Amino acid sequence: MFQQIKSGIVRGETYYVKRKNGEIMGNLIFESYNQLKTAVWFYVPNKPYAYLFQLNEINLYRYVTNEEYSKKVKEKYDSNCLDIVLKRLINETFSW
C-alpha cells in the first residue's frame, strides 16, 4: 500500500517515484537534497547511476505496512466515535 508524501523524506529509504507528466520512475532510494533544497537525489538500487528531480515535478509515495495502515484506520475510527459521543452529550456545535 502507498501513501503520498510531501515532506519527511528519510535518507536511505525506498520510495515509489512518479513524475507529474505520468512517467513512472519506480522504486528509488533517497540520497539527499540539493544545496537549495529544491531538488532531490535518488539512486537506483543495484545500479551505478542516480537521478536528480525537482521537487515540483514528482510525486513521492512511501510504502505503508498493513499494521501501520490498520493502526491509522483504528485511530481515525476512535476519533470519529469520540466526536459523535461528545456532540450528543454536550451539543451539536462542540468541536475540539
Q: For every one of its 96 residues, what pLDDT tens digit does the chain have, with 9 covering 90 and above?
A: 888 888 788 888 889 999 999 889 888 989 888 888 888 889 888 888 888 888 889 999 988 888 988 998 999 999 999 888 888 888 766 666
Task: Fill in the amino acid letter for 55.
Answer: L
Nearest to 2 by CA among 67, 55, 58, 65: 65
CA 63 to CA 13: how far, in whole Å? 10
Residues 60, 4 contacting (CB under 8 angstroms): yes
Cell of 43: 539512486
Is-above-0.75 flag for pTM?
Answer: no
